[in-house]
């Protein structure tokens, strides 16, 4: 092969790497922005405390240019913010979409909260806020934004109080978005000693969205009766964005205590909490909707725990779940004569302890006048997997998670013709075991649980065993 041909081959081989986008660079400082150039906290020129004072007076944004790369500002006392300001750590030279925050506010040796925000219109992004004796960020004002879309959020870790605390009726219409709270930028557990996010004493109409939260206590805590109309949505509580890491919460992952009319969901992943996934201790109208809840409270922990219900009533019963054909799963159940309730259906793996997991949201339906419900779920849920449900009344009160029903098979895997299930089916499964679509040796005829993406596993084996010696379908 000629030199030119070899060069061409090498260039083609390198093309996928060359086409990958470079990490986003530091954000440019907007016109008129004031720049922090010193990591000291002595009141001198270019320090954050001095620049903040000027920015609050003139309503100007704050940028950073303290050399390049990671810098730590050791604060001797908390920073008070009583007027609109943007403090943007993503402007520090060297920041990228993969670097994590480069500007750290460190409270070691100081006292109080890291940032105390009493005004409106403040944005805090791209900072690490750590080691304060109070909360990392304390908010009693309105219309503020703590964080930003990842990777431009904050890392709020190792504080003696809560990560973010929204307190009093003045704390309304704030957004806590895209932060790592109790989790380092590298995904390592580094919890705050208080709660991950604490909404209390009348905080209302706030949104906590798309954060990764671990905690040495509760992950998200909503408390006192006037704390209302808050939305907890799209967060990863006790786990990371891959939904696999056990970052942990050493109490309930989410707890509502004497607070009403809040919404938990949709799209939270709530996992690996020491106690319940969600505990609704007291209050009314607290809606839990379309979340993924699993592996909380040890082997027999509850996904949703309502202590006053005592695990005796209030949740639906699934009476049947079957695949009539390859395209849909028919589910039927009842709710003790309760009409007009919204029933949300979820799939899990094989049936586990009652009330523990509700992993994948499937569909919703409504109970009829007698409290019965039915749903057709498409595409079909894999045979051998299980289905659970929750019920929510017209006032927004959500039940605990039901017991599970195993989906019965209605067809043969991979479109195989009608036959009696025998040792040849076992042979096919064993050859494909632990392989998934795209893996060498994977055979769709081994996909007995009809999972279009999952590997051949013990669930497929269980379904095949239940059909052995019988007609498929049949």
The secondary structure of 327-340 as a DSSP string is: TEEEEEEE-TT--S
Specify the higher pLDDT residue, 302 or 16. Answer: 302
For the entire predicted model, the pTM comes to 0.83
> How many residues make up the chain in this entry?
474
pLDDT attached to residue 344: 98
Contact 159, 190 (CB under 8 A): no
State yes or no: pLDDT of 325 exceeds 80: no
- Any idea which of 100-109, 125-134, 407-416, 438-447 has the lowest mean pLDDT? 407-416
Give the C-alpha separation, 84 to 346, whole Å. Answer: 43
Please give the span between the terminal C-alpha atoms of the chain, in angstroms, as a whole number.
60
How does 389-421 read in b/e, with b if 16+ C-beta sit within 10 Å? bbbbbeebbbbbbbbbbbbbbbbbbeeeeeeeb
Sheet holding 207-209, edge to edge: 34-36, 62-64, 86-88, 123-125, 145-147, 175-177, 207-209, 231-233, 263-264, 287-288
Neighbouring residues of 19: CB distance < 8 A, sequence distance ≥ 6 = none
State yes or no: pLDDT of 305 exceeds 90: yes
List the structure tokens of 228.
């209302």
> Region 432-442: what's the mean pLDDT?
88
State yes or no: pLDDT of 77 exceeds 90: yes
Give the C-alpha separation, 213 to 200, whole Å. Answer: 18
> Region 442-455: what's the mean pLDDT?
76
pLDDT attached to residue 8: 39
- Average pLDDT over all residues of the chain: 89
């Amino acid at each position: 092969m000629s030199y030119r041909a070899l060069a061409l081959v090498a260039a083609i081989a390198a093309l996928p790497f060359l086409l990958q986008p470079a990490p986003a660079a530091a954000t440019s400082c907007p016109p008129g922005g004031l720049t922090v150039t010193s990591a000291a906290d002595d009141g001198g020129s270019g320090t954050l405390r001095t620049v903040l004072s000027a920015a609050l007076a003139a309503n100007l944004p704050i940028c950073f240019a303290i050399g390049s790369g990671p810098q730590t500002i050791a604060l001797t006392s908390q920073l008070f913010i009583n007027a609109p300001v943007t403090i943007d750590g993503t402007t520090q030279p060297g920041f990228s979409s993969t670097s994590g925050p480069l500007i750290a506010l460190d409270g070691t040796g100081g006292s109080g909260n890291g940032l105390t925000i009493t005004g409106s219109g403040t944005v805090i992004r791209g900072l690490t806020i750590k080691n304060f004796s109070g909360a990392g960020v304390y908010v009693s004002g309105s219309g503020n934004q703590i964080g930003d879309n990842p990777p431009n959020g904050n890392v709020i870790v190792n504080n003696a109080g809560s990560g973010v605390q929204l307190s009093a009726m003045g704390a309304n219409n704030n957004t806590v978005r895209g932060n790592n709270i109790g989790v380092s930028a590298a995904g390592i557990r580094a919890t705050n000693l208080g709660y991950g996010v604490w909404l209390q004493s009348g905080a209302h109409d706030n949104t906590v969205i798309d954060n990764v939260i671990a905690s040495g206590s509760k992950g998200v805590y909503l408390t006192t009766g006037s704390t209302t109309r808050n939305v907890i949505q799209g967060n990863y509580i006790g786990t990371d964005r891959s939904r696999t890491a056990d970052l942990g919460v050493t109490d309930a992952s989410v707890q509502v205590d004497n607070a009403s009319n809040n919404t938990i969901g949709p799209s939270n992943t709530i996992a690996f909490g020491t106690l319940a996934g969600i505990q609704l201790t007291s209050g009314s109208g607290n809606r839990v909707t379309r979340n993924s809840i699993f592996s909380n409270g040890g082997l027999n922990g509850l996904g949703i725990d309502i202590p006053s219900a005592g695990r005796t009533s209030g949740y639906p019963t699934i009476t049947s779940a079957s695949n009539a054909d390859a395209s849909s799963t028919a589910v039927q159940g009842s709710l003790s004569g309760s009409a007009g309730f919204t029933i949300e259906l979820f799939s899990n793996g094989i049936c586990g302890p009652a009330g523990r997991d509700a992993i994948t949201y499937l569909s919703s339906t409504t109970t009829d006048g007698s409290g019965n419900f039915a749903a057709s779920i498409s595409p079909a849920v894999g045979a051998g997997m299980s289905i659970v449900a929750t019920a929510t009344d017209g006032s927004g009160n959500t039940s605990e998670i039901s017991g599970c029903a195993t989906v019965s098979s209605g067809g043969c895997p991979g479109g195989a013709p009608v036959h009696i299930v025998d040792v040849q089916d076992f042979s096919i499964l064993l050859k494909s075991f632990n392989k998934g679509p795209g893996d060498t040796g994977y055979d769709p005829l081994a996909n007995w649980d009809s999972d279009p993406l999952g590997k051949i596993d013990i669930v497929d084996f269980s379904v095949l065993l239940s059909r052995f010696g019988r007609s498929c379908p049949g």
